[in-house]
Each structure stands twice: as structure tokens, then as C-alpha cells.
């Protein structure tokens, strides 16, 4: 059989059947180099590095698991020797779960924290300063197409409102102070 480049390939011979596919040395050359002269695609240390990396990650995970188990065990056994503090004065939801309950409880809506706060926790001066610092905008939708007035936002009846990034930065600054 003659290859289209003119190289004779002995496909019909008995030797070719035993040797598998026959590639002519002329076809096997690229840019003047034999295929055997091209460098390997993988570095010789590729698989050992992968194995060592996986071994290290496994060891780190095992160490983290052991630490977590020991820490959990120590904290649960040490819990009995820790004196109990009076937690009955901490209210998880002093203003309830709705604006109606919050108003009935005497709570006020804080625009900085966007939450109902009992009078003892409400910093009205700080909230007033925040509101006066700029004409803020609130929106019902993420695209800012449905605006909400400041009076509506202060009712606390919206589960969430969308604001711009400047509002967010200022809000964070006021929360820290």
C-alpha cells in the first residue's frame, strides 16, 4: 500500500499484523524532529506532587476533625463547672415578629439597623442624624423602579428594602459609632 505522501506502508504483510499500526518514519517526523524527541507533556514529578498534596490535605482534615471532637468533648464536660449566668433578662425578640406587635410593645423602628428596637436600645439622636445627613432613597425592587418614601420606610412594615451602595456604606459607619 502506498501512502498519499508516497511512503510505502507494509500493511498487507504478516509483520504488520503482529506489530500493530505501522507509522512511516517520514510521517513520524514533525519540523525535522522525531516524535520520540519531543519533551513529555507532564513533568516527571507531576504525580508524586499530586500524591503528596492529597496526603497533606488528608492529614490536615484529620487533624481538624480530631481537634473538633476534642474541643467539643472538653467544652461539654467543662460546661458543668462553669457558673450559670442569669440569662432571663435577655429577650430574644422583645419587639415581637410584626410591626403591629412592635408598636404595641412600645418599640420604635430604627432605620440604621432596619429593625424594631425597644426604647432602652433605641438611639434616636443617632437615627435622626443619619436621616438628616442626606436625602436617602429606598426601593421595593432591586432595579430601583418602585421607590418608597422615607415616611413609608420608617413604618417598618417592609420586610426588606433596596438601597444604593452609598447608603450601605453610611449605614455601616453609623452602626459602628
The pLDDT tens digits for 129-167 are 988 888 888 899 988 899 999 889 888 888 888 888 888
Select the highest-mean-pLDDT range: 16-30, 67-81, 132-146: 132-146
Identify the residue whose cell numbers are 499484523. Answer: 17
Question: Any residues with CB less than 8 A from the CB of 56 and at least 6 apart, and which?
Answer: none
Side-chain half-sphere exposure of 84, counting CA atoms within 13 A: 4
**Contact 136/163 with Cβ under 8 angstroms?**
yes
Side-chain half-sphere exposure of 164, counting CA atoms within 13 A: 8
**Contact 16/10 with Cβ under 8 angstroms?**
yes
The reported pLDDT for the residue numbered 122 is 86
CA distance 119 to 151: 20
At 42-57, the pLDDT tens digits run 677 778 888 899 998 9
| Nearest partner of 126 among 113, 107, 136, 139, judged by Cα | 113
Amino acid at each position: 500500500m502506498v501512502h498519499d505522501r508516497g511512503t510505502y506502508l507494509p500493511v498487507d504483510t504478516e509483520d504488520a499484523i503482529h506489530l500493530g499500526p505501522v507509522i512511516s518514519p517520514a510521517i513520524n517526523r514533525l519540523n525535522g524532529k522525531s516524535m520520540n524527541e519531543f519533551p513529555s507533556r507532564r513533568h516527571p514529578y507531576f504525580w508524586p506532587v499530586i500524591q503528596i498534596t492529597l496526603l497533606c490535605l488528608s492529614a490536615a482534615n484529620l487533624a481538624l476533625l480530631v481537634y473538633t471532637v476534642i474541643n467539643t468533648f472538653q467544652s461539654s464536660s467543662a460546661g458543668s463547672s462553669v457558673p450559670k449566668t442569669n440569662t432571663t433578662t435577655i429577650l430574644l425578640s422583645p419587639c415581637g415578629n410584626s410591626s403591629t406587635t412592635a408598636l404595641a410593645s412600645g418599640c420604635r423602628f430604627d432605620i440604621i439597623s432596619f429593625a424594631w428596637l425597644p426604647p432602652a436600645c433605641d438611639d434616636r439622636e443617632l437615627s435622626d442624624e443619619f436621616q438628616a445627613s442626606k436625602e436617602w432613597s429606598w426601593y421595593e425592587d432591586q432595579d430601583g423602579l418602585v421607590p418608597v418614601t422615607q415616611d413609608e420606610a420608617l413604618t417598618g412594615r417592609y420586610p426588606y428594602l433596596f438601597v444604593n451602595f452609598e447608603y450601605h456604606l453610611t449605614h455601616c459607619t453609623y452602626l459602628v459609632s
